[in-house]
Structure 1
Amino acid sequence: MSAKVSPVTKEQQKMAYRFIALPVLLLLCFILIPIVLALVVSFTDYDVINPPTFLGLQNYLKMLDDPYFWVATKNTFIYTLIYVPLGLVVSLGTASLLNMKKKGTKLFRVFFYVPVLCSSVATSTIWFWLLNPSSGLINKVIGLFGVQGPAWLYDSKWAMLAIVIMSVWMSFGANMIIFLAGLQGIPEVLYEAANVEGASKWQTFRYVTLPSLTKTTFLVTTMLIINAFQVFDQAYILTKGGPGNSTITLVYYIYNNGFGNLKMGYASAISFFLFIIILIFSLINMKLNNLDNDK
């Protein structure tokens, strides 16, 4: 016999609206209204001091002839193409190791999550010392094997890779926890069936673990893509966009135009270009995830 559900009273409805009102108000004040205002500003010439002047689509057309904009776009794509796969592999690999029923795994979970709690400024400062070409710990360790380490942050060939390595170290702990939750949600019976069939560890990982983590991988990949296109702190603190503009990113270029040159209109236009890129890649990732689920 099913229990009867009592109808919602008017007082309960009012109370529900009161709880919803504050988050909605915060959403309007700090997200939706600023987005609309930024969109309006993107069609103007605004330097904060003087009243904005309407320009139409000039700010968006200006991007087509701006060489620094295309350098920043190329660097952001390079960073994303390296950071996203590397972040996936490191976080999933670490989660798989820490999912084993061994002593000390809980302690290592805490250790690997600690970098997430550190501010990007503090982390960048530490890595600035680690990557020092002459006295940095990384090059000293490499030197023990008879290999001369590169001038990480001072060489345009290595600067972006150095930023990627630091970013992966700084953020993989959060993704590791998400993967760990996904791994622990896989039914044990699937592994038992694979073991009965004589599957190797790699086959079990490929045909049992990975398909079971499709939704988790989609979530982590989407977060990594969004974080990759929004990279700023690392490039700003470690390299200031150098050497030779090799690490200048879209967000860094937006910052330079908006707060350095007071070109708020042009900076807003680039921001919406970046928003469209993130949206497109998120939709592509969602489409690929749906195709995997349909198989």
Structure 2
Amino acid sequence: MKKFLVILCIFSLALSGCSIPFFNREDPGKIPAQTESAGFPFTYTETIGVKDVKTALIDAGLQVTEGGVADTDDYVLNNLHPTVYTLKPLQYVLFVYEFDSLAQRIEAGWHSGSEHIITDEIPLPENWLARACTARNILIIYKFNLEKLVNAGGSPQEEDEFKNNLNALNQALFRLNQGQEMVFADRGKLWDARLTVKYFQHWYKDDTDTSHVEQNSKGTWQVKYLGSKPDSCKSIRYEYITFSGSGSGDGHLQKVGEDYYLRLGTVFNTGIPGKDTVYTLRIKCNDQEESLDLKAIKP
């Protein structure tokens, strides 16, 4: 049971670029109708096809074979038959649904965001789970056998292979979404902090010629302790402030090699940062407190 929970946790962390299927039909980022006139501040996102998905998976180093289910009629969603792929050695099945436009995918209720387990949308055998991802006008649902994933984590080498392949799938999704990356950093006397933010932004029009934007970002912290007495830094409280919210919690130092790091949570956002964005991080270790203002740096 413990191994099962560890593998499922690794799976959840590795594929955080996927999507939640919301069914409330809310309009994301609705703005007045625009046209491609002079001074238009953005360009509309181009659609992609099933072949683009397969190419991205292969380029990321995944072994892709077509097929994996006996009858795709059981997996029809929004009147679309999926193209089915099986990924090896992960041994799970991808269902790729190609909508005519990004607007159609969103209007059908499949919004981008953090990954989410789904249970009722497709048939699932016992001991299988399914998750959903989006890439522009594409919806991807992949189901996987939990027992096989648990068995794949038997040795450190197999666990590394498992995580590497999950990262490859995440890399393919990042590429399909035309993802971009920014790094924010600041250094104080006690802490050296970096926040790597991966994000995408898709502009599209609906049937009424109204423009919308779908965008998401995910920030990953790396906070290194610079002090000389890590053993004395036992009680740690942190708080961070982003351009759209804040977070806080208690933490502890973790030794990696010869250095010590503070483990923080991941920052998910439906907005994206700009070149002038500042992330503020405050850390209190015992009676010592330090505040850092992380600003964008060049790659």
Same fold (TM over 0.5): no
Q: What's the TM-score, normalizing by structure 2?
A: 0.21
Structure showing the higher helix proportion among its residues: 1
The structure with the largest alpha-carbon Rg is: 1
Report which structure shows greater RCO (CA 8 Å, sep ≥6).
1
Normalized per residue, the structure richer in strand is 2
